[in-house]
Amino acid sequence: MSAEAPTYEELQRRALAAAAPRGRAAGTAIVCDRLVRIFTTAGVEVQALQGLELTVAQGDLVGLVGASGSGKSTLLNILAGLDVPTAGTASVGGYDLLEMSARDRLRYRREAVGFVWQQTARNLLPFLTAAQNIALPMQLKGNGRGAAKRHAVRTAELLEALGIAELADRRPAALSGGQQQRVAIAVAMANNPAVLLADEPTGELDSETGSAVFEAFRTVNRELGATVVIVTHDPMVAGEVRRTVAMRDGRTSTEVLRRVVTDEHGTESVSEREYVMLDRTGRVQLPPKFLEALGMEHRVAVDLAPDHIELRPDTHAASEHL
């Protein structure tokens, strides 16, 4: 190793510092640190979240993917303020989700987060028009001086931004599934929440309608500055967000980041790179396909190179039995 190369301890120190919780850092919308959620049913414990770590920057658009049972809905319900974690820390828009009083929790759900569910019917009140549905969260928040005018202006702004102005006076039954979801996004955005959460919002829609709804999420992210987290099985959604976080066994395991690159001819293309998550203690979850390809299990040899870390199959295993 050359004299300039950092030592293993130095690299580990830097890695831990980089993975330290960034809760108080400006520009962070969501911070989850060692989040645990244990459900007990009939005496049997299920660890739905097992020390999950996740940081989402303000203004980010994140897709959350993972096999059934990996803990996506559990995480979303906690972030939505509908469920409370067993241990760990979680904060959204400056609210501490473990320490909130019942009153703060109600305010949090009304003002700090917006939610769009998969079931289109669950998002809207059937007896109100699209415009009335959008105005309702603002009315629940408060009706001070000039409120009616402000609510009407915000409602018109949201209808316009989401391209549904002509649907303002229709009730949900007179809207298609995709139109209902776009109204639902406007409802969720009514009080300008710090974070917009969505659980399979395109799950009940055909692919064309689904992409129009996804475009609406992109619009509120880009034009209204909303931080958006979408749980999805839809490859179109997962493949088109800036950041896709994959969950495995109640933890975030891998992450794909995408950015637009321009070549020397000025042609733009999307470049994507997969990362594994490094937790505060230096633990990583390696992709199973890599481990299987090299027959790695139980123990691996680890070496420090000047600018990376090498992992190799344990070749000493056979010669150990002398």
Ligand X SMILES: Nc1ncnc2c1ncn2[C@@H]1O[C@H](COP(=O)(O)OP(=O)(O)OP(=O)(O)O)[C@@H](O)[C@H]1O
Q: What residues make contact with ligand X under the rule CB under 6 A?
A: 39, 41, 46, 48, 66, 68-74
Minimum Å gap between C-beta 80 and ligand X is 12
Minimum Å gap between C-beta 115 and ligand X is 15
DSSP alpha helix (H) spans, the chain: 8-18, 72-79, 102-107, 120-123, 130-141, 147-161, 177-189, 207-223, 235-240, 288-293
> In this complex, which beta carbon is closest to ligand X, that of residue 73 or of residue 133?
73
> In this complex, which beta carbon is closest to ligand X, that of residue 79 or of residue 130?
79
Minimum Å gap between C-beta 46 and ligand X is 4
Give 54-101 as a 3 state SS string: EEEECCCEEEEEECCCCCHHHHHHHHCCCCCCCEEEEEECCEECCCCC
DSSP alpha helix (H) spans, 62-176: 72-79, 102-107, 120-123, 130-141, 147-161
Strands 61-66 and 113-116: unpaired
Whether residue 255 contacts residue 246, with contact meaning beta carbons closer than 8 Å, is answered with yes
Minimum Å gap between C-beta 254 and ligand X is 15
Minimum Å gap between C-beta 68 and ligand X is 3
> In this complex, which beta carbon is closest to ligand X, that of residue 59 or of residue 203?
203
Could you tell me the two tokens for 151? Answer: 């609510």
> In this complex, which beta carbon is closest to ligand X, that of residue 78 or of residue 138?
78
> In this complex, which beta carbon is closest to ligand X, that of residue 71 or of residue 81?
71
